[in-house]
Every structure is written in structure tokens, then in C-alpha cells.
């Protein structure tokens, strides 16, 4: 029951993009086409899940026993940056097709604040290993959901007569606002 609770909260109610404002840059930047948004979403799921797991272990088995919790920002960002590099190298060697599909999105993820944000937030929630893993996956799925929805809307939007001053970022932001309004409806799912 607890696991289901975590999934619904992280995926829908507190959606990482639309209610916590993490990862806005890729959300606005890579949501012009449905196909690229799915690629980006897959890469984000991969990296957030892995990064969340690694930072969780690092915090609980290294930083916390040594009482150097204040080092978390520096260590986490370095771990995430090197993790993305390692993932890229390993993927290139092990699975070229997957690398072809995700390759171009991977370097962009280092500066995606959703990755670091999720790692920091999940530490403050005092989850155990399994709950932490589920939380990471749900956050990443929530990001992908928002990104794919947005890309679907923006593909249609191109065909419409948007006023000149609203083209590009402004209309995307207003669309995101309406999506966020819709997602507020999910708040009733959890007591």
C-alpha cells in the first residue's frame, strides 16, 4: 500500500515538472516533436533511476557515517556528472542501437535539475532502499509523462495561428500552466 502511495504521489500529484518545477529547461527545450520527447524521456528514466540509487547509497553508507552531510551538493553533482559519462561509454560498447537512440540526449541530462533535485529530495524523505528506488522511477516516469503530453500538444499547436508575440516559449509556458492546472485535479486521489 505504501509503495502505491509513493507512486501516485510522485507520478501524478506532485509531478516533478508541473508542480515541483524541476527540469523545466528540457521540458521546454525538447518538447517540439513527439519522437524526440520519447527518446529524452527514456534517457531521463534511465539516468534518474540509476543516479537516485547511487546517491542514496553514497549518502547512507559514506557521507552519513562520516558526518560530512554538508558535502552532499558537491559529491552528488560530481557523481551524477560522472555517472552520465559512464552510462554513455558503457552504452556505446554494450548496446549500440540503444546508444544511437539515447546518445544525443545523455550529455544534456547532467544539467537537468530534476536529476540532482530528485536525489536531494529523496534523501530528506527517509525512504528505505526499495521505496527510494520506486520513488526515483516514479519521478522519472512523471517527467516523461509531462514531456510526452506537452510534445503532443505542441505538435498540434504549430498548425494553429498563434499570435506572433506568443510564438515559441510564451505559448509553451501558458500551455504548461494549463497542463499544470489539469494535474492539480489529481490532488484528490491521495488523502
Partner 1 sequence: MNYLKEFTKGFIKENPLLVLVLGTCPSLAVTTSAVNAIGMGFATTFVLFMSNVLISLLKNLIPNKVRIPAFIVIIATFVTIVDLVMQAYFPDLYKALGVFIPLIVVNCIVLGRAEAFAQKNNVLASFLDGLGMGLGFTMAILIIASIREILGNGSFFDIKLTSEDASTILIFIMPPGAFITFGYIMVLMNKLKSKLN
Contacts to partner 1 by CB under 8 A: 18-25, 28, 70-74, 77-78, 81, 111-113, 116-117, 120-121, 164-167, 169-174, 176-178, 180-181, 184
* Least spacing, CB of residue 187 vs partner 1, in Å: 10
* Helices of type H across 103-168: 106-109, 113-124, 129-157
* Least spacing, CB of residue 186 vs partner 1, in Å: 12
The C-alpha atoms of residue 163 and residue 68 are separated, in whole angstroms, by: 53
Give the Cβ contact number of residue 25 at 10 Å.
13
The C-alpha atoms of residue 162 and residue 144 are separated, in whole angstroms, by: 26
Cβ closer to partner 1: 77 or 104?
77
* Least spacing, CB of residue 159 vs partner 1, in Å: 20
* Least spacing, CB of residue 33 vs partner 1, in Å: 19
Cβ closer to partner 1: 98 or 117?
117
Residues 6+ apart with CB under 8 A from 190: 5, 8, 9, 13
Rounded alpha-carbon distances, angstroms, from residue 122 to 44, 153, 160: 17, 31, 41
* Least spacing, CB of residue 57 vs partner 1, in Å: 19
C-alpha closest to that of 115 among 163, 63, 154, 78: 78
Cβ closer to partner 1: 20 or 36?
20
Cβ closer to partner 1: 58 or 77?
77
Cβ closer to partner 1: 101 or 171?
171
Amino acid at each position: 500500500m505504501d509503495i502505491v502511495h509513493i507512486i501516485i504521489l510522485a507520478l501524478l500529484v506532485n509531478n516533478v515538472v508541473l508542480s515541483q518545477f524541476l527540469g523545466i529547461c528540457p521540458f521546454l527545450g525538447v518538447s517540439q516533436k513527439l519522437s524526440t520527447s520519447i527518446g529524452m524521456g527514456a534517457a531521463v528514466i534511465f539516468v534518474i533511476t540509476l543516479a537516485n540509487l547511487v546517491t542514496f547509497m553514497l549518502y547512507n553508507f559514506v557521507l552519513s557515517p562520516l558526518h560530512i552531510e554538508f558535502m552532499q551538493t558537491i559529491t552528488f553533482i560530481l557523481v551524477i556528472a560522472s555517472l552520465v559519462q559512464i552510462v554513455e561509454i558503457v552504452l556505446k560498447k554494450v548496446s549500440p542501437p540503444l546508444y544511437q537512440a539515447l546518445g544525443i540526449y545523455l550529455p544534456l541530462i547532467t544539467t537537468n535539475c530534476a536529476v540532482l533535485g530528485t536525489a536531494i529530495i529523496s534523501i530528506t524523505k527517509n525512504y528505505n532502499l526499495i521505496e527510494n528506488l520506486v520513488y526515483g522511477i516514479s519521478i522519472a516516469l512523471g517527467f516523461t509523462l509531462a514531456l510526452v503530453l506537452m510534445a503532443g500538444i505542441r505538435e498540434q499547436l504549430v498548425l494553429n495561428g498563434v499570435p506572433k508575440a506568443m510564438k515559441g516559449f510564451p505559448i509553451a509556458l501558458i500551455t504548461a500552466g494549463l497542463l499544470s492546472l489539469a494535474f492539480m485535479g489529481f490532488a484528490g486521489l491521495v488523502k
